[in-house]
Amino acid sequence: MARLKWGLIGMLVLVFWLGLQNPANASPLALETSRISGVRQIDTAIEVSKTGWQHANTVLLANSDHFPDALVAAPLSHQLDAPILLTPAGGVDAKVMEEIKRLGAQQVILLGGEVALSPQVVADIQNAGLSKPERIAGYDQFETAQKVAERVGTKGQVILANGEQFPDALAISAYAGVTETPILLTSAKTMPASTQQELNSLQQKGDLNTLVVGGEAVVSGATLSSLNSVQRIAGNDRYETAAAVYEFAMDDLTAQTTYLVTGENFPDALAAGGLAAKQRAEIVMSQTATLPGSTYSVLSRPTESPLNVVIIGGTAVVTDQVKGIVQGDVQPAYLLAGYTVVVDPGHGGPDTGAIGATGTYEKNNTLAVGLNLAGLLRSAGAQVILTRSTDVTPATGTYSELSDLQARTKIANDQKADLYISLHNDSFSNPDAGGTTTYYSSSSPVAVQSKALATSIQSELVKTISLTNRGIKDAAFYVIKNTKMPAALVEIGFISNPTEEQLLGSSDFQRKAALGIYRGILKFKGY
């Protein structure tokens, strides 16, 4: 299986630039909300348990002040139908013991060694009339995760996340739970010996797909060289990564409930993974006082029935300001809030598109720009629909060029998108030909708006990537002729030009191209 690499989005300059813009006048979310919270993180976990379980034969118990052990518990929680409770290292909290008794649990499994959960915890459980608890533990959080993974077992896939930060493992916990995929932990720059040992063992047993959560800053690609199949889910920050996980897990997490957890501090969110997995519910992340644009974006995705968003933690963790944005009572200051954009990376699957002199494929270049563009748009609050997010065609059945184009157009029209952006590389027999062109179609039902969109994108893109300005052109390309919303087809550069071919395949240039197109969209919107 080919290794799949996901690029990250450079945003430092952009964040400052966005801060100078005015808020968009767009429709806010209007979702039902509720809260699960307690006075302490221990109490919040108890309330989570009460929400999801009337009875449980087994309870998982982890340290309330140390996050990694609880983060890897979701697959085991789902497998055993066991809630995750938290307690201090020195003994079982009285309210936790009450909850264990309420559940009628016969068995307690301790996650972590004696530093995390001391011998007094064992004594408290036995003194309450329960059998001696099972302990799953290693020398550190990495080895404990390995031991939990061995207890859960694998089905050809494992998840790898940073074990020194909590957000990415938390974001994937519901998916890990539902699919009973074990979570292994790693450091940013080095692979712990226990984790490497487990990965090696699993690969020796057969094909293994490693799902890496988080970008290069939290899981370096250099540590993954021994793995045969790697798929990375990543964003520019923890909130974008959680949003990317949300998109990835949609087919497995189908409930109309979504859990909103804090991305700033771990304790209140620790027990959420087990409950979300039990209910097949998604998890998204918020800052304490505001809802990140990427989170707004995924929550604005159309569904068959309205979402119910359950906030985990009290107002000190996730404020009523955030709750108001989700409910629609507070207008968010996002540039593209309530706006739906279809991003269409041209070609894919059996269609390579144009091929450069050194053998590079247009389809790979357009996908990279498309993923970067999607991240930028989501950070501004837009709902983004990608016609493809991997090397596939959106067409179903027997492939043909026409069926592929029809599928892309249908996605945009069915979703009633506000904009459609198709991404391509140009090609010509003369290798000296070069530059950037943006197309609109005068045959489009919204030709005037499409021309304005193309004009805005062309001007901003050329400023950003500094290729020759070939201007905007009118063409009856299928996808921009048959879409019902303003649409533009962007030929970023010439893959047939040796200099531009090298640029088009550069991750830095791909990010710049996405930024230029993004700025063009904002210009079209009046910013």
At residue 381 the predicted structure's pLDDT band, cuts being 50, 70 and 90, is confident
At residue 1 the predicted structure's pLDDT band, cuts being 50, 70 and 90, is very low
Ordered domains of the chain (ranges, CATH): 32-327 (no CATH), 336-524 (3.40.630.40)
What pLDDT sits at residue 489? 98
What's the average model confidence in pLDDT over 226-251? 91
Question: Percent of the chain having pLDDT more than 70?
Answer: 94
Query: pTM for this one?
Result: 0.70
Whether the predicted pLDDT of 67 surpasses 90: no
At residue 248 the predicted structure's pLDDT band, cuts being 50, 70 and 90, is very high
Give the strands of the sheet with 469-474, arranged side by side. Answer: 383-386, 340-345, 419-426, 487-494, 436-440, 469-474
Angle between helices 272-279 and 167-179 in degrees, nearest 10: 30
At residue 304 the predicted structure's pLDDT band, cuts being 50, 70 and 90, is low
What's the average model confidence in pLDDT over 235-264? 92
What pLDDT sits at residue 338? 83
At residue 473 the predicted structure's pLDDT band, cuts being 50, 70 and 90, is very high
The Cα-based distances of 488 to 258, 425, 466, 478 in angstroms read: 34, 14, 20, 11
Is 51 within 8 Å of 281 (Cβ atoms)? Answer: no
What pLDDT sits at residue 207? 86
What pLDDT sits at residue 302? 66
Task: Give me the DSSP letters along 40-103.
Answer: SHHHHHHHHHHHH-S--SEEEEEETT--HHHHT-HHHHHHHT--EEEE-TTS--HHHHHHHHHH
Token reading at 83: 């809630």
Token reading at 132: 């001696």
Give the strands of the sheet with 32-36, arranged side by side. Answer: 32-36, 308-312, 257-262, 282-286
Whether the predicted pLDDT of 65 surpasses 90: no
Q: Which helix (H) or strand (E) holds 245?
A: helix 238-248
What's the average model confidence in pLDDT over 155-183? 93
Mean pLDDT score of the chain: 90
**Per-residue pLDDT reduced to its tens digit, 416-436:** 999 999 999 999 999 999 999
What pLDDT sits at residue 294? 86
Token reading at 238: 């923890």
At residue 110 the predicted structure's pLDDT band, cuts being 50, 70 and 90, is very high
Task: Give me the DSSP letters along 161-216.
Answer: EESSSSHHHHHHHHHHHHHT--EEEE-SSS--HHHHHHHHHHHHHS--EEEEES-T
Could you tell me the end-to-end alpha-carbon distance of the chain, in angstroms, rounded to an integer?
44
Tokens 């209910």 appear where? Answer: 279
Whether the predicted pLDDT of 331 surpasses 80: no
At residue 66 the predicted structure's pLDDT band, cuts being 50, 70 and 90, is confident
Whether the predicted pLDDT of 527 surpasses 80: no
Taking the mean position of all CA atoms in its chain, how far away is CA 195? Answer: 23
**Per-residue pLDDT reduced to its tens digit, 113-137:** 999 999 999 999 999 999 999 999 9
Beta partners for residue 39, in sequence order: none
**Per-residue pLDDT reduced to its tens digit, 175-233:** 999 999 999 999 999 999 999 999 999 999 888 999 999 999 999 999 999 998 999 99
At residue 155 the predicted structure's pLDDT band, cuts being 50, 70 and 90, is confident
What pLDDT sits at residue 340? 94
Whether the predicted pLDDT of 347 surpasses 60: yes
Longest CA–CA span in the chain (Å) reads 84
The Cα-based distances of 435 to 385, 439, 451 in angstroms read: 28, 13, 19
